Amino acid sequence: MTFDAEKLLNKQFPTVQQTYTDKDCMLYALGVGMGIDPLDEQCLRFVYEEDLKVLPSQSVMMAHPGFWAKEEDTGLDWVKVLHAGQEIIMHKPFPDSGTVEATTKISEVSDKGERIGALIVSDRVVRDVATGEDICTLVTTILARGDGGFGGERKATPKTDVIPKSEPDLVCDLPTLPQQALIYRLSGDFNPLHASPTVARNAGFKAPILHGLCTLGVLTHALLKTCCDYDPSRFKRMRLRFSAPVYPGETIRTEIWRNGNEMAFRCKSLEQDTIVINNGYLLVD
């Protein structure tokens, strides 16, 4: 099926309702690398049921619409779809169990040309079904590398957050496991690009890559550790741009610049010596 931007903008997503348990929260935390040191009691709070805390980045997996880019009616070359950017706005912390719901809506499709691809932005608000309260707002940007040049509007790229040229105020190095993507996908992101060597090679990678949202989870750990004293309630808003893939087993270095309760950040794969997350912004309480 040919890619049709107007049809995608009008795509009707079903409302997704999800009931999750403390076990789901612990599995997610393990999937982003919490618990690598089982004697670290600060991290243990996210992977052990006693006084369990929920990582703010788990919001991206809540009432998730699934890998909708693979659905035939989108017309997308799904193998070439990459996560380009993410914004998380936390209205309140997630409880360690409950039922949530959300409806996804495509808000923008921009033609970046045949060589770059189509930039697609979607929004969803995750609500607590029991209370009716909004827990978070999520803005997701994907790059469909195989679908540019469709003749659509070439909108200006939104202004990105600036990374200072000075040395960072804080640096946090966190390792990932060789099997990290295989653990993370059990929280609901089953894109085979992150598990199948064949699919990864067909997409132009030497091996399955880490989910961009798993890298985001490792980043969230670094930000909680360095900026929030591991208190999820202090984590208010984060936005970032994914700039390169991480391979499972690599170490992610997060560099942070402080400006009051606002932070700029970026992440680097030490093994690749490459920036993998850039133009990051964090607001804390």
- Report, as residue numbers or ranges, the catalytic residues: 189, 194
**CA separation for the pair 46, 43 (Å, rounded):** 6
Element (H, E) at 27: helix 22-31
Question: How many CB atoms neighbour CB 68 within 10 A?
Answer: 18
Q: Are 7 and 72 in contact (CB under 8 A)?
A: no
Q: Are 118 and 150 in contact (CB under 8 A)?
A: yes
Q: Are 241 and 160 in contact (CB under 8 A)?
A: yes
**CA separation for the pair 153, 270 (Å, rounded):** 38
- What region, left, alpha or beta, does residue 199 occupy, with left being phi > 0 and alpha being psi -120 to 50 degrees? alpha
Q: Are 274 and 227 in contact (CB under 8 A)?
A: no
Report DSSP state, residue 187. Answer: G
Backbone phi and psi for residue 258, each to the nearest 5 degrees, phi listed first: -95, 140
